[in-house]
Amino acid sequence: MLLDNKNDNLKVWEWIDKYSGEGKLDMVTGYFTAGALAWLARNTAEKIKQYRMILGEITHTDNQNSQALDLLNETITIESAFKLNTLAAEAVEFLKLDKVQLKTLEPNFCHAKVYLYKYKDKDVQKHYFITGSSNLTEAGLGMRQTSNVELNIPGFGSNPHYKELIEWFEDLWKKPEAHIEKTIMGADGKPIKVPFKQYLIDELSKLFIQYTPEQIYYKILYELFGKDLLMAENDPNFNRQMGRLENSVIYNSLYDFQKKGALSLIKMLQKYNGAILADAVGLGKTWTALAVIKFFQLQGRETILLCPKKLQYNWRMYLKNQDSRFEKDQFEYFIRYHTDLSGERLETYSDRADKVFINEKPKLIVIDESHNLRNDKSKRYQYLLEEILKENEDVKILMLSATPINNSLNDLRNQFKLIVKGENDGFRESLDVRNLEAIFRQAQTSFAKWSKEAEPKIGDFIKMLPAKYLTLTDALIVARTRKMIEEREDKLVFPEKTKPENHFITPNQFGHFESFEELLDHFPAKLSGYQPAFYAESMVEKRAKAEKKKRGEKLEESVLEDEVQRQFFLVRMMYILMVKRLESSWYSFYSTVKKILAHHENALKKIKDYEAGNKETEANLEAEQLSLIEDEDDLINEIDELSLGKKKKVLLKDIDKAGNLKLYKKDLKKDIEALQLIINNLKTFEYGINLEIHKAKNYQSQDTKLQKLIELIIQKQLYPKNDGNVKVLIFTGYR
């Protein structure tokens, strides 16, 4: 007969239940569960007068971090887990019985499984044995379904094997390797011996301790992150490097939450080669990033920092020899702007640091405002990916952005792609993410569906996200808000801010322009200097395009490939730029208009040179146009999209051949006249401002924005807040 817990024969537990009466029960098992012990107690304890059990090595003697659940040594169902409290209590009461004797084998592990029952009298047909593969677990006894394959041979006392097994057990019970004590590691790290029976009772008792929700929460955190924590603690090289960082000025200047953030980022960079710091505005992302830079600088990595041009001084001030508060840390990193991400731009620097971008040394690339590189089709993104990241074998990327997602979840996907050099399956080994595109496609679909709900709730959206999406964000992003920090940092208090007052002031009068609207009406009609491609098309070509469009036919070229359309859209953005500059300050607008005027005058000069000597000249001056916009993050991203594909050169010869050179020259002159009119009125306005500056005790200004500021300052001095404090701190700037 065979007992495999699946055929028509009795299951192991049914055999024991059916044939056990008054007598003794000996067992050898490698593993046991609280549930199996509880069943044994309920069904046999009243009949069996003596239990002798030899249990194998259940927990590792060299691992003090072994948990009580390790004793189970098998997967349990959720239903079983809820019953575990009761089962463990029953198992403990059973083990406390004097008639239950336990031994364990050290240093050997016991793989044998045998159950030997001896009836109270000598009736051999009432003795039995079971030997085979079944441990003293619910699965081994056949009490629950499992994928395990069990095979056992049962028999009665008349079977010759019964006597042999009895002798084998008695011999094993008396062997010196069978101990009533167990070796564990003491608090001092040294091995100590404890009574094996009491050890099991103590371990099982942990299963029915009433834990508080907070303790359960920390237990969950430990199970999720404990392995990483222990790995770091047990890595002497990492600890040595962290020790050096902890001696730096920058690290000791951080708040605790910033230190924790820096440590998390360092671990992410070590493990996944990339991370995103997405803390809210005002939580010190720059300093946190500097601590990370210092860690990898101590490792010997070269650091390249990419940032918007307007933020360069946030980083330059901390470089060595700048007499900053971190001078002792001797920060070294190469600063380049997002708009430098092209071969031509990088090569224009006199320091020749572009050679650093591609060499054999390991690198850390820090990207400030990384959301500006969210478009994976843009030239800057592609240059960073193809010409820098893929050309360097050992490179880590730290990205900083308070808003890593602007338009869609794909913004985040594209930043993740930089970490794995654009590979769709780049996180396969590290995070078991096989298809990055598919995960974000599914996440974006979920977002679209969720956003259409009548009352969308964040919790519902998170439930809709694919599990691997959360795996990626948990592994690669550090993101905290002020509220989160305040809840966890008892001693840290953020100042309460007075609700900001926003005043939208537009100029009333510039010279002879009596209103903002009148000034806008006098903007140049075409800005023809920025769209020479329009004039390189003949009237025949223009009419053909117009007819096709009228008939609803698809043009052969897309908008991005059609140079005329592309330049037209770029000019629309130039108008937006001028309005933004005017809203910023009159002087910012004045400075921009002068540059645009110089550009058009240069274009007109090129035409005159061409007419005088028929000299071959390129009409494109797009680089100058882009230099005006490069500080406008929202516009430069749109410009970048319009710059896709290969730009076509437009020669004055082409314009002349199309018969439009005179028209181009005429339109340039009109634009120059309009620009000159604006500048003349701004000069008049500037003259008046200069008179105001040199007038003593003057509290009036024709600059409406400045006038409003003066009024607010006077109001503060007359009615001060905060115990009579009349001080005013002004942050100002223009673009």
Q: Domain-by-domain residue ranges, the chain?
A: 12-208, 271-488, 516-693
Mean pLDDT of 380-398: 93
- pLDDT, tens digit, for every residue of 609-640? 888 876 656 555 444 545 555 555 554 454 44
Fold (topology level) of 271-488: Rossmann fold (3.40.50)
Q: Mean of the per-residue pLDDT values for the chain?
A: 84
Show the CA angle centred on residue 632, arms to residues 686 and 308, nearest 5°.
115
d(CA 292, CA 398): 9
Count Cβ neighbours within 10 Å for each residue of 471-483 and write b for 16 or more, e otherwise. Answer: ebbebbbbbbeee
Residue 357 has pLDDT above 60, yes or no: yes
d(CA 177, CA 587): 91
d(CA 56, CA 106): 8
Contact between residue 398 and residue 277 where contact means Cβ atoms under 8 Å apart: yes
What are the tokens at 373?
């590189």
- The CA R_g of the chain, rounded to the nearest whole Å, is 39
Q: What is the pLDDT of residue 72?
A: 38
When mean pLDDT is compared across 113-117, 213-217, 593-597, the lowest value belongs to: 213-217
Contact between residue 578 and residue 530 where contact means Cβ atoms under 8 Å apart: no
Confidence of residue 195 (pLDDT cuts 50, 70, 90): very high
d(CA 662, CA 586): 34
What are the tokens at 424?
């769709």
- pLDDT, tens digit, for every residue of 651-685? 888 888 888 899 999 999 999 999 999 999 889 88
Which one of 76-80, 107-111, 391-395 scores highest in mean pLDDT? 391-395
- pLDDT, tens digit, for every residue of 234-252? 788 888 999 999 999 999 9
This model's pTM is above 0.85: no
- pLDDT, tens digit, for every residue of 20-71? 999 999 999 988 888 899 999 999 999 999 999 998 654 333 333 444 443 3
Q: Could you give the count of Cα atoms lying within 13 Å of 576 in the half-sphere of its Cβ?
A: 14
Does the fold of domain 271-488 match that of domain 12-208?
no
Class of the CATH-defined domain 12-208: alpha beta
E runs forming strands in 191-301: 191-195, 274-277
Residue 556 has pLDDT above 70, yes or no: no
d(CA 307, CA 380): 13
Among all chains, which residue has been given the structure tokens 């020479």? 532
> SS3 of 383, please?
helix
